[in-house]
Each structure stands twice: as structure tokens, then as C-alpha cells.
Amino acid sequence: MSLRILFIIPVIILNASSLVAQLSGSNLLESQFGDTPFGDLDNRSVVYNQINLSYRHNDIWIQSRYELFLSPDPDRSYTELTQLRLQYRRDGFTLKVGNLYETLGRGLLLRSYEIPGSLYEDLGYRSRYSFFRDLEGISFEYRADLFDIKFLRGRPLLNILPPDEDKQIRRPDQLEAGQLKFRPYHFIEIGTAYMSTITEDEKQGFGSLQLDIVLPGGVQLYSEYATGLGEEHNPLGFEKSDAFAYYGGLSWFYGAFGASVERKHYNHFRMGISGFNDPPSLVKEHSYALLNRSTHVLETSNETGWQMEGYYQFRSGSRMTLNYTIAKNDLSKSFRYHEWFGEYLHRFSPGRNLKVFGDFARDDLKLETNRITGGIIARHQINHLWGTGIDLQYQQLERLPVHEGIIRNYYTSVSVSYAPALSFSLLYEHANDPNQVDDPRTREIETGFRQWLGFSGSWQYKTNHSFLLFVGKRRGGPSCTSGICYEILDFEGVEIRYTTKF
């Protein structure tokens, strides 16, 4: 039955192009033939399908998402309507009912999100599903020149649980919130928010104040303070037992130079069981594979720190970026995270550039010291159609006293592209990290090294269709996209993804 659905869905989609213009949608079909190394199953082949349907008529917009997962383990297979939303927007009013994405301020109290196109899977459930944290409920917003006002009520998603789990368990928290933003002048915005939460029958209140000023001379200041309210909290106490969060950001530009300085201080500020807030982590979000994987994940129970970043754009189009990050966690003891990062991109001509980067870090929470990462990335446009690139990265670190010796990670990628829609790349990774080499299923401690070799290709056909192919071994680990960090599993085998829009 499920397999029939799988064949029927693409046929419906591909014939839907002729339907009325207000109906649009997309379909993502992904199949994996292979398995997670060190997993409990061999040759595990799975199929995932996601269909998004959108209907628009004047001011009304209806959106739905239907997900299907077929696994050799029948307990993990599911077909679920995972999102349904009705939205009405007119003359500054917006009303949303169903599955919503809402953020208050800069996310100190509440942030919901979706990582478009990403699928989440963990070793416990071995179920694949789209990665988002939405709210199920209702929101109302009015935007005017002078002010914005928003009210919402909903249940945020605990997104580490798959769609077929019980709804009460997946949405364990309930919240009601209101936010007012007032703009007396075009360069200043003052905001305030109140949020009431219920988790396991315990009711709590929180409030925040926000200030956003755009000053002459390229200066912008943003400041937000959020705190627990009620008898058990002192809003201005700043004691270790108080729940509060402060974020401040100052940015400045002058000609081709730009800089930002940011400050954070969070204490007892993880919201609910689902952790539905997401204050800015103030850690550089790297696009380099080895650095992205080594990121520091924010600990909202206690974290203070700074981040400073500067850019300079040369007249030739070359560019330099420098970043310094420091974070401190006072938990059972004090832990520090330091990172110095520098990057220089040299632009020889349009289509030809060379980028070098270097990074030095220390991460007490991970017991990592002397973490040195460097790399060189070259891009060369051969002619108006063909391009090629090479990406070489190296990382070494110490994890004493847990692991003896120097831990080394290597990353190499060679890519070829054919404009506008075709590209291939060959990826090779090598690591002697004991966390990667040791097989957790055995009592012995395996040593040596592991290698990952993979081939990937992508092809976009017309405006509607795109294909992705991966063959080989892919290294997993932490990954951060759009400020959200999550674990990706290792994979070994063949993965095919077909996406279509209509």
C-alpha cells in the first residue's frame, strides 16, 4: 500500500503543473541504500517522501506537509500529516492557525525555525523526518509604521522525537505570549514581550525588553534583556539562582570596513522540555567542514561571553575576515571556550579566487586544547561553462588526559561544475580521532584511523527538478546551519534525492 503511494505521489505532482496558479507545492523523495557504520542493522534501505502543498486565494494561504517514511523496521515506518497551516493577511493584519513559526526578539524567549531541505535522524529512533521546531497553535500580528503587535498561543515541538510518537509527548510545553514593538522615530525601535509557559503543570512567567537603534555614521546597537517573573525571581538580581538572559550587539561600518561586537550573559534560561528558546550563541558559524563540525554549542544554563568580528573588502574584490570568540560556563566548575579565526580571500579575476584560513581554539567542555585548523580553497573558472575547485583542510588537537597523542583530521574535496546546473565532487576524509575509530559495540578499544571517501553529484533540470546523488562513506558529527546545531549520522552506501516544485 505504502509503495503504491510512493509511485502515485510523483505522478500527481508532475501532472499538477497544469492546475490553477494558486496551487503550488514541492516534493522531496530521498532513498538510502546502506547503513550507519557501527549501527545495529546491516544493509538498511529506507525511503523518505515529503510533499508540501500550498493553496493561495487572495489573502488566504493554506499550507500542508505530508511525510512518509518506509523502513525495514516496521515500527519506524510512518505516514503522517506533519504540518497544516491557515494564514490570512490583509492591510498589516496577519492571522495564522495551525503550525506556525514565530520568534520573539532575538530568540531569548522563543524561536521556532526550519532548516529547509534537511532531514533529521538519530541513532535511538532511526527514523527520518524534516527538521523543524514549530508551534502548533494560533498567532495574530498587526504591523504599522509606528508599531507592531503580536499575540500567540501554542505548543512548541520537541523535535528529537519522530512524527509517529504521541502528540502529547512531542509537544510537552504550552506557551502564551505577546510582543509590542514601538518606533517613535525611524531609527529607533523599543520592544517588550511577555510570555507565560506551562510545563508539567508548572506555570512560569517571563518578560523582555528590547532596544534597536540605527545611528548615523554606520553604527547600530541592539540590546535585549529577558528575565523570569514572579515571586521566585528577582528581575534585576543577576544572582546564580536567577533566570535571566542578556544579549547586546554593536555593529559599525566605515567604507570597506565593517565590524561587530556582541555580548551574551545567560543564566538558567533553557525554556521548557522542548528548549523552545534559542538565544544568539555568539560563536562563529563556519562554512568550513572541519570547523563547522567542531563548533561550541551554547549552554543556556550558564554562559557568558563575547564575539568580535571585522571585515575589510579590498578594491580588487579580495576580502579579509577576523573573528575572536570567548565563552565561559560556570557549571560544576568553570569551563572556557576561546577561538581566534582569520580568513583571506584573494580574487584574481571573476571566477578565479584563492581562500586561506587559520583557526586556533580551546574548548574545556570537550576537553580539547591547542586545536589548530587551517585550509586552502581554490576556485577556477575554466571557461564560460566549466569550473573547478579544490578544498584542503587540516585540523589537529589534544584531548588530554582522555586520549594520548595528537588527534588529526584531514578533509579534501575536488569539485567540477558545468553551468548552470550540473556539478560533481569527490570528498575524502581521514581521522585518527579515537571517538571515530573505536567501535562502541565491542569491548576492545580500537585504534588506528578511519577514512571516508564519497562521490556526490547534483543536477538541476529546468526550474522544477533537481537530483542529488551520493555514493560512498559520509562522516557524521555536529553540524550547524542557520544558527541551529544538530547531529548528523555517519552513512555508508548510496543516497538519492529528487526534489520537484510545481
Partner 1 sequence: MLLVAGTAYAQLPDFELRDLQNRSQSYEDVKGSKVTLIDFWATWCAPCIEAIPELIALQSRYKEQGLEVIGINIDSQRNLSKVRPFVNSFGINYTILLDPDSEVMPMMQLSVMPTVLVVDSHTNNIINVYEGYRPGVAAFIEEDIKKILDDE
CA distances from 442 to 35, 36, 66, 301, 437 (A): 18, 16, 40, 35, 12
Q: Which of residues 406-465 bind partner 1 (CB under 8 A)?
A: 417-423, 458, 460-465
- Specify the stretch interacting with partner 1 by CB under 8 A; choose among 55-63, 191-199, 401-409, 486-494: 55-63
SS3 of 124-137: the string is: CCCCCEEEEECEEE
Name the residue among 469, 441, 449, 380 with its Cα closest to residue 408: 449
Q: Of the two residues 290 and 484, which places its CB atom closer to partner 1 in the complex? A: 484
Please tell me whether residue 88 binds partner 1 under the rule CB under 8 A: no
Please tell me whether residue 396 binds partner 1 under the rule CB under 8 A: no
Read off φ and ψ for residue 4, nearest 5 degrees: -65, -40
Strand partners of residue 3: none
Strand partners of residue 176: 153, 196
The separation between CA 471 and the C-alpha centre of its own chain, rounded to angstroms, equals 24
Applying CB under 8 A, which of residues 1, 74, 186, 443 lies at the interface with partner 1?
186
Please tell me whether residue 294 binds partner 1 under the rule CB under 8 A: no
Q: Which of residues 56-75 bind partner 1 (CB under 8 A)?
A: 56, 61, 63
Minimum distance from residue 108 beta carbon to partner 1 (Å):
9
Please tell me whether residue 77 binds partner 1 under the rule CB under 8 A: no
Minimum distance from residue 180 beta carbon to partner 1 (Å):
15
Please tell me whether residue 191 binds partner 1 under the rule CB under 8 A: no
Taking phi over 0 as left and psi of -120 to 50 as alpha, with beta for the rest, 216 belongs to: beta
Please tell me whether residue 12 binds partner 1 under the rule CB under 8 A: no
Name the residue among 241, 212, 211 with its Cα closest to residue 227: 241
Please tell me whether residue 502 binds partner 1 under the rule CB under 8 A: yes
Read off φ and ψ for residue 76, nearest 5 degrees: -100, -15
Q: Which of residues 98-117 bind partner 1 (CB under 8 A)?
A: 101-103, 105-107, 111-114, 116-117
At 386, the amino acid letter reads W
Q: Which x/- pattern, by CB under 8 A, does the window 155-184 give for partner 1?
A: ----------------------------x-
Minimum distance from residue 5 beta carbon to partner 1 (Å):
17
Q: Which of residues 247-266 bind partner 1 (CB under 8 A)?
A: 249-253, 255-260, 262
Applying CB under 8 A, which of residues 35, 67, 121, 278 lies at the interface with partner 1?
278
Minimum distance from residue 489 beta carbon to partner 1 (Å):
20
- Specify the stretch interacting with partner 1 by CB under 8 A; choose among 8-16, 72-80, 266-274, 361-369: 8-16
CB of 340 closer than 8 Å to CB of 360: yes
Please give the helix or strand (H or E) that residue 207 lies within, else none: strand 202-215
Q: Which x/- pattern, by CB under 8 A, does the window 320-359 give for partner 1?
A: ---------------------------x--xx-x------
Please tell me whether residue 318 binds partner 1 under the rule CB under 8 A: no
Minimum distance from residue 378 beta carbon to partner 1 (Å):
12
Name the residue among 163, 169, 165, 166 with its Cα closest to residue 66: 163
Please tell me whether residue 477 binds partner 1 under the rule CB under 8 A: no
- Secondary structure (3-state) at 342: strand
CA distances from 472 to 85, 120, 425, 448 (A): 39, 20, 12, 20
Please tell me whether residue 305 binds partner 1 under the rule CB under 8 A: no
* Whether the bond into 172 is cis, omega within 30 of 0: no
